[in-house]
Each structure stands twice: as C-alpha cells, then as structure tokens.
Structure 1
C-alpha cells in the first residue's frame, strides 16, 4: 500500500465526486490533506470523515486572493505543500443530458468554463510552485485532472473540450519548466464516464455500470508518492497510471 505519511496534499474541488474520493483516500494513507472548494459547510462534512490531519480551506479557484489564502494557511499549518491536485472543474450547460452547439453557447458560459478549468489551475499551480521553490523542496508533484475529451473531440461541448485541451498543453509546458527542480507535473483522467453529478441524468442502472468516483484514488496516491526522479509531463487514464507506476 502506498505510504503518504507526513505528505501535505491540497485537493481542489474536494467537497464531492472525484475530489472527495481522492482526498479521503489520501488521508487514509497518512497524508495531511487540505480540502478546498467553494462551500465551507460541505467541506466540513467531508473532512469529518477523513482519517488523518486535515485543513478545511474554502475558496473559489477563480479568485487569486482566495487561492493565496489557501496556500498560506497550508504553509502555516503544515510547513510545506508536497502535492497539488487540480481537480476542481465544471462542464457547463453544454454537457451531459443536453449538448449545446458553439452557436448556442453564450459568452458568460464560455468564460465560466475557462475561468474554472484553466485560470483556476493556473492560479493554484503558480502559487504552489512558488511555495515549493521558495521552500527549497527537493521534490514535489502537481496533478491535473483532465478528461478523454482533452485528447479528442465530440460535437456539442466545444467550451469544455477547449478547456481540457488547454490543460493538456499546460501540463506539458509546466513540466518542462520544472523538471530540473525535481517537480513532476502530470495529468490524469478517469478513463470514461463517472457516476458524478455531471451524469446525474442517467438512469440508475446505467449509473451503476459506469465508473465510480473512486476510480482515480489509487493512481492519485501513486503519483503523489513520486520523488524527484518521477515521471513528468505525461497524461494517462487512471488505469494506465497504475500500470505504469505500480
């Protein structure tokens, strides 16, 4: 079993779905986990289920000051950030039950998806990298939660697809910038539809047959456990990561 004792991990979007499952799993493996999302009440409920040391730090990933506050409170409590998991994301109205063509997507919807899925990742990654580099850490890990739609496209979800393709390029670019510093930057995706709110419109029997929210737990733990000589600049499904790192 992966050992994450004394590792400090920030998980964005930790109040529900994939983020909630990863955060609780990492805590069970010994990590100090920082739970962040917009709703403090929802975060408190999840953090109460955690096995290890936790910090509840509510924030909107689009707000630079709020992001700074999360990282500062993490440093004050635990002294360092070893891993950042950029999980927070939105699919928008043009996804799930009713796809919307680009000509049906208004500017506000487009901006919301880009701000959460791309700008939010930029803000958190930049601030955490600053903390890692200023703290003189010998290693660190950044994990960006992507999607199969970050590598291929379908009609009716242009904004979401654009954000995830951007995330894939961001992952590779930042990995190149930090590889000499011992910081690994990678992307992971579930490998298919997951039984979360996005697919809440599906019939119950179909939701039971698709992937469940714990699908990325083991892979996330393996990636968080990587040292300075770990894999970096790669993007794979959870199953592929498990096969690569186990």
Structure 2
C-alpha cells in the first residue's frame, strides 16, 4: 500500500487527549492545513472543557470501562460523526513493579487492560465502520501509540513494557491483515517524552534530564503522519527501531 498522509483525514478521534502526547497531537492535528474535525476523548471533564475552548469537539470516555459501555460509546460516536476516518489511541498508564518485593496484581491487570486489551477492543469496534469506508473507496487510519520500551524494555516498568510490546506486535499483524483494504495502520513509537505520566511515580525530576520536550516530539510526529510513515518514531526509539528493521524483526512471519 502506498503511503497515505493524515492530511486526507476528515474527522480524527484522539483517545487519551486530556494530557501528554494525546493532547498535543489533538491540538496539532486540528491546526493542519486540511482542518479536520478533531474529537478529543478522555476521562477528565475539566480538561475536556479546556479543549472545547480551543475549538475541539470532545467526548468523555474511560477506556477502562466494560466492553458493553465502550461499544455503546463507539456506536453513539459514529452516529454523531459518520465521517470519522481516523482514530489515534493514546491512552496509557504506567506503574513501577519490583518482583523482589510484593507486587500489586491489580495494578498489573489494570496496566494490561488500559495499554493493550482495551485498545484492541476499541479497534475491533471501529473495524466495521472503517471497512465500510474502504468499500466506498475512502482511506481511514488506525493509529495506536506504543513505546520505544516495546522494543527495548525498561526493567523498572517491565509490565508497561510488555503491554506495549503486545500492542506493537498486534499492530504489525493487523497491518498485514488489512493490506488489501484502504485502512491504514500506523504505529507511533515514542521515545521518553516530557509527560505528566511520570508525576505519579515521582520520577519526573530524574527523567526530565533525558526526555524529549513535548513540543519537539509533537512536531516530529505530525511530520511523520503527514508523510504517511507506517512507523512514526524519533529520538532514541527511532534508533532502536532502525536496528529492528535492519534485522528484519519488525516484519511479520513469512514476509
């Protein structure tokens, strides 16, 4: 499939848009010359209200909801926005786990659900709509955000790394399954980026010495989306990705 730019998208849903990378991408995509409708989805109503003031559409959505609730949310959204043709899946949580000590199994399960299971569920709920668009000759986009830690895991966040590795593997295979359609599967693979994700863990001060500034990261990522890259990465994650690609490790079995 030839590269397809995000510029052709008419209506973009960004899930996990109330902070960090998701918020920055939602705002940046709304400013593209093509001026797509951007729907910012997230849990925090105060953050959504702020985005409404920046002329984004908003949707209160908790990806950790049960599948029935998620399905109702997706169905209602598609009724309201039948031209929706792109979804960026940015929601994520991260905990530190040390298996030398007691591990919180509830945190393990929640991390896997939010970072992987819920993302796959939501993608499956949008698939009939995107395949319908494809049959009509229209391009659409499924864009999960994984992590450089999917390629080179961080021992302190081993479960987070594993959840993102699972999503990366799923995304690669999904792209193969949809290669004869007009559904474009793009994987965003961030390096360590400035984010409040680390505030809860108390690691912000330490990591701020190494992370990529959010503004710089956003510009590079939007540039990759506009080029139609199937892997959109930068910084250290791009360096690791290049090693994987040279070794053929980002190719699915049999390709």
TM-score per shorter chain, which class? 0.7 to 0.9
1:28 deviates by: 1.4
1:23-42 correspondence to structure 2 within 5 Å: 23-29=26-32, 30-42=35-47
Structure 1 unmatched ranges of 5 or more: 241-246
Q: Which residue of 1 aligns with 2:208?
A: 207
Closer, same or farther: CA 34–111 of 1 in aligned 2, 3 Å: same
Computed over aligned residues only, the root mean square deviation of the Cα atoms, in angstroms, reads 2.9
CA contact (8 A) 1:36 1:57 kept: yes
Per-residue deviation, 1:106: 2.3
Q: Deviations 1:200-230 (Å, cap 9, x if unpaired)?
A: 335669637631223443455456557xxx5
Residue in 2 aligned with 1:55? Answer: 57
Helix, strand or coil at the partner of 2:178: helix
1:89 aligns with 2:92: yes
**Residues 6 and 118 of structure 1: CA distance in aligned 2, closer, same or farther (over 3 Å):** closer
- TM-score normalised to the size of structure 1? 0.79
* 1:218–1:183 Cα change, 3 Å: farther
Match of 1:76 in 2: 79
Q: CA deviation at 1:27?
A: 0.9
Checking the alignment, whether the CA contact within 8 Å between 2:147 and 2:191 is kept in structure 1 is: yes
**Which residue in 2 is equivalent to 1:109?**
107
**In structure 2, how many angstroms separate the alpha carbons of the residues matched to 1:43 and 1:58?**
8
Q: 2:180 — aligned with what?
A: 180
The aligned counterpart of 2:152 is 152
Consecutive aligned runs of 4 or more in structure 1 exceeding 4 Å deviation: 202-206, 222-226
Q: Identify if the C-alpha distance between structure 1 residues 222 and 123 changes in structure 2 by more than 3 Å, giving closer, same or farther.
A: farther
Paired position in structure 1 for 2:132? 134
| Cα distance change, pair 101–55 in 1 and its aligned pair in 2 (3 A) | same
The Cα of 1:140 is off from its aligned counterpart by 1.2
TM-score, normalization by structure 2: 0.77
Q: How far is the alpha carbon of 1:79 from its aligned partner? A: 1.7
1:217 matched to which residue of 2? 218
Give the C-alpha shift of residue 231 in structure 1. Answer: 5.0
CA distance in 1 between partners of 2:162 and 2:210 (Å): 28
8 Å CA contact retained: 2:16, 2:23: yes
Per the alignment, in what secondary structure is the counterpart of residue 179 of structure 1?
A: coil
Mapped partners of 2:62, 2:90: distance in 1: 13
